[in-house]
Chains A and B, each alone.
Chain A
């Protein structure tokens, strides 16, 4: 940051719109930013966005709306996130790093800086959420996949999670060979809609495999509409383990991950069949 000339701290989105340029560098919680930009001499202007009114968690008729400056601590302890989606968001947020990081890291930052260990993109993908972006002139509301593929510059203002999945079955787990074996980590984030033992909806997302979360729409399509009792659980678990293995077969822990995915998917589906 040797060439940094100005530091700006807007308090409103209107102020933000006046100063934002496509090459402005935005900083929120700073858990990602500072160490990664310390030696970046391209940055001339730093916009610290922590004073913007985007730290909220609210609910409307159809969705839960999370302001992008909500921290992991907020997500973990808020009554709305604890109550809806069977506490799935709150539970998942508690898995992030340490308390000190959960106090600082923001939802928006976790989405904006793709990293294999990010947890919140999995939540957004699992809940089929939308991301609202403001580029200083207009707002865009897009899916997570579109956000990562189109790389739309701007400020993430809000994450919208549809309440139509509120009564689904959820599962979130982070598994590694040992607590310190970070390279072997794999994160599971599952959601299923069930109606009289029939799978009406399914989203099984896997994290820590690449910088963005992954799911397999083809397997999901094959499973949706089937009765849990008729489902060939072993076959589905094997399909998923092959899918995860195929992402990076040369990875040091690809065999371990394959086995874990097989066992976890099987356990999840078996539990569904017992409901």
Chain B
């Protein structure tokens, strides 16, 4: 059983893996996982509603996409976390990231990291989702700029891109 006791400074020491790097940090009991991730410099994860409704703060924790704004940082102890930075970057983007750009799905871009994390979760489970399934999976990622059509197209494009990639390192 894992037991974490509050230290003299009033913090709890937790350890976790973030984007393949090991971290051991002190967190306060009221700190959210979103706060922690952003404090560590991974600012691709956005703060939107702060109540788990908009999906801007979506991350992958132990292979499942979750909203980090409603999770206490303490919850991350022992977990493996991936943020948008862990998927790829400008010089070496993940096929899902490329698909969103190519499909013109990005306007202001604020919601896109969350959408991409949800898309990753979907395509990891269903290789070739239909439109109804895509909309069902993206129902927790709100976008205030678009009508969602291009994002749905982007997921379809990402699906075909991933199918055509022989190098499975992206999966």
Contacts and interface: CB of A to CB of B under 8 A. Distances in A.
Given A98-B55, A104-B66, A34 B139 contact: no
Given A99-B139, A104-B67, A8 B118 contact: no
A217 interface: no
A27 B6 CA distance: 18
A6 B29 contact: no
A100 B67 contact: yes
A11 B3 CA distance: 11
Contact of A94 (B1, B51, B74, B136): B136
A51 B77 CA distance: 12
Contacts of A30: 70-72, 75
Contacts of B74: 7, 46, 48
Interface in A31-83: 31, 34-35, 38, 46, 48, 50-51, 73
Contacts of A8: 1-4
A34 B69 CA distance: 10
B164 to A, nearest CB: 26
A2 interface: yes
A19 interface: yes
B64 interface: yes
Interface residues of B, number: 34
Interface of A: 1-2, 4-11, 15, 19, 27, 30-31, 34-35, 38, 46, 48, 50-51, 73, 94, 97-101, 103-104
29 contacts: A1-B29, A1-B30, A4-B6, A4-B29, A5-B6, A6-B5, A6-B6, A7-B4, A7-B74, A7-B77, A9-B2, A11-B2, A27-B75, A30-B72, A34-B32, A35-B51, A35-B70, A94-B136, A98-B140, A99-B118, A99-B136, A100-B55, A100-B65, A100-B67, A100-B140, A100-B141, A103-B65, A104-B64, A104-B71
Interface of B: 1-6, 12, 29-30, 32, 51-53, 55, 58, 64-67, 70-72, 74-75, 77-78, 118, 121, 136-141
